A and B are shown apart, each in its own frame.
Chain A
Amino acid sequence: MTPQTLTPAVARRNSTAKNRVALVRPKKPLRWITTAAVSAAVVGLHAVAIEGTDFKPELLVDGWKGMAAFIGDAFPPDLSWEKTLKPGLEATLVTLWIGLLGTTLSVPFALLLAALAAENTSPHRLVYQGARAVLSFFRAVPDIVFALIFVTAVGLGPFAGVLALICHNTGVMGKLWAESMEEIDAGPQEALRTAGANRIQQVANATLPMVVPQFVGLLLYRFDVNVRSSLVLGLVGAGGIGLLINQSIKSFQFDSMLTHILIVLVLIIVVDQFSAWIRRRLAA
C-alpha cells in the first residue's frame, strides 16, 4: 500500500472539523509486565532444557572427523543387485504392506470408537468417556511397544508389525475422526431427528456422509505416517526395510545402509505424492 498523501480537500476537512473524536488508545498498564514474564519463562525453560540434554555444540565441532569418516564409508552406495538392491526392494515392499494393512485393518475399530467418542453421535455420557479412555490408551502406548509385545506372541516378522500398527493407529485415527465429527454442521442431523429418525439412522444418513472427505483425508495422512512408522518397527525385528538397515549398520556395511536409505527416500516421496494426489481429487 502506498502512503496516503494529504490532499488539500482532506486537509481542509481536518482543520475545519469540530467535535472530532479524540484518538485515545485504551491503556493496558500490565501488558509489558506480562510480555516480560512470558519471555523470561521461555528463556528459562530453554536454559534448563539445554542443560538437561547435554546440548554442547563444541562437541559436534570437535568430532566432525568421526562423522565424516562414517559418511565417507557409506559412499559410494552399494548398488549390486543380488547383494543389496534386490533384497532392499523386496523388504521395502514388505514395509509398504505393513503400513497399508496397519492402516486399513484399523478402520472398523477406529470408526466404531470414533462414533462412540464424539459428543454429537455418542449414545451416552458414560459410553463417551469410556471410548475416549480406550482411544487414549491406544494412543499413549507407542507402536514400538505394541510391536515388542506382539513379537513375544507371534514371533519376529512383519505380522507383529501389522498388529502393532493396527493398535496404535486405532487410537490416533479414532481420535482424529471423532474430532472431525464434532466439528461438522449439526443441522442435517437435527433435520433427521425432527423427521423421526433414530440415533443410528441420524449418524448413518447425516453425520457420516457429511464427514467422508475429512475422514478420507485423515486416513491418507495416517497411511503416510504408518509407512514411516513401519520402518522404525523393522528396527525392533518386525520385518521390512528397517530390519535390513539395522543389519547393515551392525555388520559395518555402511554402503548397503546408504542404498537402503535411498530406497526409503524414494518410497516416502511416492507415498506422499500419491496421498497428495488423492486429496486434491477429493477437494475438487
Chain B
Amino acid sequence: MPLSVQGLRKSFSGRTVLQGVDFSVAAGELVAFLGANGSGKSTTLRCVMGITEPDAGSISIDGAALDSLQGRELQQMRQRMAMIFQKIHLVPRRTALDNVCAGALARIPTVRSLSPLLFPADVQQEALDCLDRVGLADRAFDRVGRLSGGQQQRVAVARALCQRADVVLADEPVSALDPHAAEQVMALLRELAHSEGLAVAAVLHQPDLALRYADRSIGLLQGSMTFDLPSTAVTAEHLDTLYAPDRNIAA
C-alpha cells in the first residue's frame, strides 16, 4: 500500500479534532474525503503531510512507518508525498515551467536552484513533460499569473508530478475553481491515478463531484470515520448523516 494510516488522533487545545482515523490508499486509486465543516478532513491530510504534528497514530508509506525514520531518511520518505492546495500556492510572476521545476528542488543542488536560469536541463525537460501530462505544454513559458484558476491548479498538479511523488494529497483542490474547471481538475486527478498508478487522496466539499470521480469515498463526522465505501455504494442516507452538523448551523 503506498499510503496507510492507523489510529490518527489530534486535538487542538483540548478540542478533539481527530479521534482515531484509519485508512489506506492503494496505487491507482482516487479516494475522496467527505464531511461537514470542522469534521477533520483537512486536518487528516495535514497530519499525513507532516504540516501538523498528530498526537498519535502511525503513517506508513510503502509499508515503512514514518515514525521509525529520522532526519534525512524521513525527509526522503515524505518527499514521496506531494500536496495540492486549495489556494494553489504557485508563484504568479514565474512561468509555468519554472513553477513546475520547483517541485524538483529536493533533487537540485542549492547553488543551481538560486535562479531558474541555473536549473539543470534534464529537470527542465522533465518539468515540460509533466506539463504535457496535464495538457499545458503550450503554456510552459507563460507567467502563471496569466493562466486561469483551473490551469493554475493543473500546473500545481504538474509540480507534484515533477516531485516524482507516488502519493498525492489534495486539500480541497477545486473549492476555489468554477464548476467547469473543477470537473477538469477532478478528471485529471482520476486519470493520473488510473494511468500512472498514483495514490490520490482528495478532501472535497462537493459530494456529487466526489461520487462521480472518486473510486472510494470516506466520510468523516466529528473526527471519526462513518463510512469507507466504493463511491458507487454511497447512498443519500450516508450523506444525510454526514452533513447534519452543517444543516444544524444553518437552521
Seen from chain A, the residues whose Cβ lies within 8 Å of a Cβ on chain B are: 187-188, 190-192, 194-198, 200-201, 204-206, 209-210, 212-213
Contacts and interface: CB of A to CB of B under 8 A. Distances in A.
Contact of A187 (B85, B102, B105): B85
A194 B91 contact: no
The 4 closest A-B pairs by CB, nearest first: A196-B106, A197-B105, A187-B89, A191-B89
Interface stretch (B107-115, B175-183, B185-193, B208-216): B107-115
B75 interface: yes
B10 interface: no
Given A188-B91, A195-B106, A197-B105, A204 B115 contact: yes
B41 interface: no
Interface stretch (B56-64, B76-84, B128-136): B76-84
Given A187-B89, A191-B89, A194-B51, A205 B79 contact: no
Nearest to A212: B93
B158 interface: no
B194 interface: no
Interface of B: 49-51, 75-76, 78-79, 82-83, 85, 87-94, 98, 102-103, 105-106, 108, 110, 113-116, 156, 159, 163
B163 A195 contact: yes
A209 B106 CA distance: 19
A212 B82 CA distance: 27
Nearest to B116: A205
18 contacts: A190-B51, A194-B49, A194-B78, A194-B82, A195-B82, A195-B83, A195-B103, A195-B159, A196-B79, A201-B110, A201-B113, A204-B114, A205-B98, A205-B116, A206-B102, A209-B93, A209-B94, A210-B92
Nearest to A197: B105
Nearest to B106: A196
Contacts of B115: 204
Contacts of B49: 194
Contacts of B50: 194
B91 A195 contact: no
A209 B113 CA distance: 13
A191 B83 contact: yes
Given A192-B102, A195-B102, 15 more contacts: A191-B85, A192-B105, A194-B82, A195-B83, A195-B159, A196-B78, A197-B113, A201-B105, A201-B110, A204-B115, A205-B91, A209-B93, A209-B94, A210-B91, A213-B93
A49 to B, nearest CB: 47
A212 B93 CA distance: 9
Residue of A187, A196, A204, A206 most packed against chain B (CB within 10 A): A196
A183 B213 CA distance: 38
B89 A196 contact: no
Contacts of A196: 75-76, 78-79, 105-106, 163
A202 B151 CA distance: 23
Given A194-B49, A201-B110, A188 B163 contact: no
A196 B115 CA distance: 17
B49 to A, nearest CB: 6
B70 to A, nearest CB: 15
Contacts of A197: 102, 105-106, 113
Residue of B82, B102, B114 most packed against chain A (CB within 10 A): B102
B113 A205 contact: yes
A195 B105 CA distance: 8
A209 B85 CA distance: 19
A258 to B, nearest CB: 47
Contacts of B98: 205
Residue of A188, A195, A206 most packed against chain B (CB within 10 A): A195
B60 to A, nearest CB: 18
Residue of B78, B79, B105 most packed against chain A (CB within 10 A): B105
A195 B89 contact: no
A143 B75 CA distance: 48
